[in-house]
Structure 1
Amino acid sequence: MITVAHRAGNTIAGLRDALEAGVDLVEADIHLYRGALEVRHSRTVGPHLYWERTTGVTRRRDVRVPELDEVLAAADGDPRLMLDLKGRSMPVAVRVAERLRERIPGVPVAVCTRHWPMLEAFGEDPQVRRIFSAGNRAEMARLRARLSGKRVDGVSIRLRLLSVSLVKELRRATDLVLAWPVDTEAALAQASAIGVTGVISKNMPMLDRLMRGRR
């Protein structure tokens, strides 16, 4: 079972802790805001505020938000980054692709997004693993049609959308079927039962146990 530390890459400390723990991939969420590639999950509310479902509204001046260059520097060439591109604007993908070529040329990295045209920006980069994500039924239906008879690097699917038969179908298109969020023992049991090949989780003790069991 592939282990992915959900959002751990959104802080430098979280990134380092997850890499030291030995997870297979560390996820970082990437937004393009006023020309900067910010690493955060929260959304902007005007020029001064962030909003997060779990934490509510926070002031930009009270939050330390790293940029992509800082995360790449902290990873120091480690190939276990998974960058989740947010938003629908193609410039996000174009800027990230440029940054990867400049900062870590040739270093393997995974790039994930629910807005699949963004993945085309990395078409010339063989070291980039392009992962198609789906978070609702409409996206899942479009993804199934897109994958028919094709092979892709990987998929990342909201757990509640998956079933045994659907995972079998997806595994005809890729060896990497990631489920999210998998933060509880019940969710892990469900993910295991339906046959996914990896889980995306904020539960680091659970990921550690998975890795120890695998070893």
Structure 2
Amino acid sequence: MVLAIAHRAGNSLAGMHAANELGVDVIECDVHTYRGRLEVRHLRTAGPLPFLWDKGELVSASAPRLGLQELLEADQHGTLFMLDVKGPWTWAGRNVARMLHDGGHHRPVLACGRWWPSIDAMAHLPYVRPVLSARNRLEMARLRRRLSRGPRPYGVSVHCSLLDRDVVRWLHEHVSVVMTWPVNDLDVLDHVLDLGVTGVISDEDHVLAVVKTRAE
């Protein structure tokens, strides 16, 4: 089975509902800690400047922001969320773990990130499935060393440019799920499925729909 993972769909309630209507397996959201609050959003803060930004997009910093607890409480489908914990701070993972525990959200969640100590800080919870992410060749080399030594995570999320059949085969020997991104057209989908990945992360509904169709 190949997981259809809706990239960033959990960054808004409308996106979460749309992804659930599509029937995806996993909904991903970006989790930021800001002034002690866990927020889900793709846009980044700009220090003391009064806006959030990303690639030319600007939004007032005073605009309402969706909280992680609010997102989880709004879920009516038993969604499997993938929490992409942002920032090179171990305490970010601790904050998420504390919120899940104290907030009573004890259903399975995937915890993903490029700062692995933050993900490790969540791994003690029995309902958290840790996923280590690698974006570049340096991170990929570190990932191979980490998997060779252990402890082994539930899965990995690796940029598609870093994968070939041998790499995917080796990863499957060490983890349960090998995910990749970005998979936003059908040619790339065919390529990564041929490599043997078992999780497809996409922004595009039509790609996710094809993943679901092929899994049936």
Q: Deviations over 1:87-128 (max 9, x none)?
A: 011221111101111223431111101000012222321111
Please tell me whether residue 35 in structure 1 is matched to residue 22 in structure 2.
no
Alignment correspondent of 2:80: 80
Matched AA of 2:22 = A
Alignment correspondent of 1:46: 47
Aligned residue for 1:83, secondary structure, equals strand
Shift of residue 76, structure 1, vs aligned partner: 4.3
TM-score by length of 2: 0.93
Shift of residue 57, structure 1, vs aligned partner: 2.7
Q: For the Cα contact (< 8 Å) 1:77–1:107, is it kept in 2? A: no
CA RMSD after TM alignment: 1.6
1:116-195 maps to which residues of 2 (within 5 A)?
116-148=116-148, 150=150, 151-195=152-196
Please tell me whether residue 60 in structure 1 is matched to residue 72 in structure 2.
no
The count of corresponding residues between Structure 1 and Structure 2 is 213
Q: Deviations over 1:133-183 (max 9, x none)?
A: 001111000000110164320000011111111111101101200000101
More displaced 10-residue stretch of structure 1: 136-145 or 96-105: 96-105
Q: Distance in 2 between matches of 1:68 and 1:197?
A: 27
Alignment correspondent of 1:114: 114
Q: For the Cα contact (< 8 Å) 1:153–1:175, is it kept in 2? A: yes
Matched AA of 1:111 = A
Aligned residue for 2:121, secondary structure, equals helix
Q: Distance in 2 between matches of 1:164 and 1:10?
A: 32
Shift of residue 71, structure 1, vs aligned partner: 0.6
Matched AA of 2:114 = R
Q: For the Cα contact (< 8 Å) 2:96–2:122, is it kept in 1? A: no
Matched AA of 1:181 = P
Q: Deviations over 1:19-74 (max 9, x none)?
A: 23211100010010111111111211124111212x4333223x442011111111
Structure 1 residues 77 and 119: CA distance shift in structure 2, 3 A: farther
Q: Distance in 1 between matches of 2:206 and 2:128?
A: 28
Q: Distance in 2 between matches of 1:155 and 1:176?
A: 7
Alignment correspondent of 1:69: 69
Matched AA of 1:139 = E
TM-score by length of 1: 0.93
Q: Distance in 1 between matches of 2:193 and 2:79?
A: 26
Q: Distance in 2 between matches of 1:69 and 1:149?
A: 34
Aligned residue for 1:91, secondary structure, equals helix
Q: For the Cα contact (< 8 Å) 2:32–2:41, is it kept in 1? A: yes
Q: Distance in 2 between matches of 1:46 and 1:146?
A: 33
The unaligned stretches of length 5 or more in structure 1 are none
Matched AA of 2:84 = D
Structure 1 residues 196 and 185: CA distance shift in structure 2, 3 A: same
Structure 1 residues 107 and 101: CA distance shift in structure 2, 3 A: same
Q: Distance in 1 between matches of 2:188 and 2:180?
A: 10
More displaced 10-residue stretch of structure 1: 7-16 or 122-131: 122-131
